[in-house]
Every structure is written in C-alpha cells, then in structure tokens.
Structure 1
C-alpha cells in the first residue's frame, strides 16, 4: 500500500492535478482514504520528500515543491559555465570550495596524458543561481601543466578565465560522459538536497585548440530536483 500511495501522488504531480506549492492532505486524511496505519502514510511521504518532490513545513504539513527553474545550459562546447550563465541573464554566484592534491586515479591520469608520478590537483567550485545551489564543478589539472595551481587554485572561480590569463584562448570538449549518482553527505550539505535526489554527472576533457593539449578533466554534479537543463550542443 505504501507503494500505491507513492504512485498515486506521483500521478497527481505528473498530471499536474496539484499545483506547485500546494499543500498535500494530512497524514490522517491519507490514512483514512487508503485505510492504512498513519505510519504507512508517513513512510510514503518521507520517501517522496527524500526524492525531492515534496517538502515539510514544521507544524503546517507537506507541500509540493515549486516548479523547477529551466536552465539554458549547454553541457558541451566552447564556452565556460560562467559565460553561459551571464549570457543567459542568470544571477550567478560562484564559491571556491577546495584546492587539493588528489590520489592517483587511472581515468583522470589517462585523460590528462600524464605519468603516475605527476601531482594532480582538484579545484572545486559551487555554483548558485538566484541564491540556489545548482552544481558542484571539479576541475582536475596537473601540476606539470600548471606549476602554480596550488597557489592559484583557491582563488579560481572560472577555470576558463584562469586559462586565458595564461595565454590559452580557445577551448573544446571531448569524451563527454553523462551518468547519474546520489549525493554524499557532504554533497547534500553543499547542494541543499536530500540523500535520494539524483545528481546528473557530466565528465569531459577540456582541450586547448591551438596546442591540442588537455588542460583539465572536468566532473560536474548537477542537482536534478530544482532545475531543468537544455542539453543542446553548442
């Protein structure tokens, strides 16, 4: 019966039979409607909340989440995330959250075309649109390519802007991969989302057009519950 309650509410959401921001019936009302214990209803609603479809207001009940914002975001191409958001007119804020050396990872090292003894650093930024966390960007770069990355990394908000300062002008992406994962406890805090909200993962390599050198391996984690993404090619 718990599954049926979830399915019925999901049908109401998909069919737009309830409005975004609308209050759901109480646990007692659902329990009477389905003739089940209140705990069964609570478990069903908790799962929907964990998946990011509804939210609770203490002492007031549960509500359907507001409609997702549609982000015109091209997941591949020649333009940086910062430039794309500014061009689209979004209010973007970026916080640098990490710059640290990472352990050997075969995929990353192969992508960067470097030897195992070369140090690789992860530069992480969290992106906000209109004050809402939308994504975590991780850029993996080699100290061999960027000798001052440990010093410069904590100040970087846009990797493309950093590359331009160093003389790199045009960029392309290759080997773009799309997958789904669930957030770790740290990622839940950074993205203000629940444990069962899927994250869209985009991985790619950024190439300097002039030299054909790999500048970075990129891994981006996008929230799936708050935004809709235009994934057209540039």
Structure 2
C-alpha cells in the first residue's frame, strides 16, 4: 500500500489510469492475490481509486478546484455562480432538532425555543460536493417550519426577511468521516474524510445571529482554495 500510494502521489500512476489486475499486482509484489485485493479495497474506501464493473480499477480523476469563501459575507450559492460553476442545490430536510447546548448557545436560544435544521445537498457538475446544515431559531423566524422545506439559499431567504449585509464570527475547520446517511447523500465510502466547516451568520446592522452553520465537504473529488479575498 505504501509503494502504491507513493506511485499515485508522484503521478507514476496518472489520474484516470487503469490499474494492473489483481494477478499482475500479486506477481509484481510477490504476495497472495487476497493481500492485493484487501489493499485495493482499502484504497477504494479511502477514495484513491474506483471500480468500473467488468472493466477493472482506476486511479481517481484529478480533483476539481473549488474556491470557498470562509468569511460569511457571501453565500455559497452566490460564490459558486460568480465563479461560473454548474451548481445545483437540493433541499433534503427541514426538521426540528433535539436540544443541543452548543448549537443553542451559538443562536442565543433558550432551552425551550424550537430550533430547526435545514439541510441542502450541493452538486457541482452533477457531483455531490457538500451538505449544508443551517440551524435557525423559530423565535427569530416564526415561519421557518413552513418556509424551510423550500429554501435552497439561506442568504436569499434572509434578504426576503429584510436583512441585507452579513458577516460571521469564528470559523472552525476539522475533519470527520461520513455516517451511512451521509455516504448515501455524498456518494462516498465510509473512510473518505469530510472537511467540516462550522460558522455562523450575523446581520451586520443589528448584530443578530441569524443561523449557526455546519457544512460537510467531500475531500476526495475536490481541491478547496480558502485564500481570503
């Protein structure tokens, strides 16, 4: 696995290139075929290679470069449209969440408030790239239960509510692994790391916290440019 990883990283195996067969690799490395199969399975789970039924295994294609804004001043939808990406958004749920102290504190919500989680699945060029979760206090937006299932852009929704300029506080970035549900939504394996970005959205004029946000980005299909504008 170390040797094959080195070949992939140094581009001795190019993106899109078909790998040798299990038998050929077993002969090359002088190991049993089952050892080769186990190694290839791990590579596939981690997103380095993929299979085509009846054709073999291939090195994953080159990552698509995506520029992200971490400042909270511009929406993901607006940013992707400005950059000319083929973006599609699907609203996948609007649900009342159980009490979670961290989220409630971020929203300055009382324990008895109703907080809704609105999820959107983002696609670039037809590939699922991210799950955006927005946590919104019903006391701030009384119609969120009814409006939530139709929302694709939270910033567009806030503008309709009379807010116009946005910012954010601290933005946290970490790595996690997908749940079975997230694997289905993002079309990825269990061992593909996800980049998790946590932030919030604040109305500049009133200083009101409009939402807390948790975004999960796939790490195996995309490269993310987080250079500050």
Show the 5 A alignment for 1:1-234. 6-234=1-229
* Whole-angstrom CA distance in 1 between matches of 2:9 and 2:95: 43
SS at 1:137's partner residue? strand
The runs of at least 4 consecutive aligned structure 1 residues that moved more than 2 Å come to none
* Whole-angstrom CA distance in 2 between matches of 1:191 and 1:119: 28
Q: Which runs of 5+ in 2 are unaligned?
A: none
When normalised by structure 2's length, the TM-score is 0.98
Residue 35 of structure 1: how far off its partner (Å): 1.3
- Retained in 1: the 8 A contact 2:70–2:228? yes
- Retained in 1: the 8 A contact 2:177–2:190? yes
SS at 1:174's partner residue? coil
Q: Which runs of 5+ in 1 are unaligned?
A: 1-5
When normalised by structure 1's length, the TM-score is 0.96
* Whole-angstrom CA distance in 1 between matches of 2:52 and 2:162: 51
- Retained in 2: the 8 A contact 1:201–1:220? yes
* Whole-angstrom CA distance in 2 between matches of 1:58 and 1:141: 43
Residue 76 of structure 1: how far off its partner (Å): 2.5
Residue 77 of structure 1: how far off its partner (Å): 3.2
CA-based RMSD of the aligned residues comes to 0.7
Residue 84 of structure 1: how far off its partner (Å): 0.1
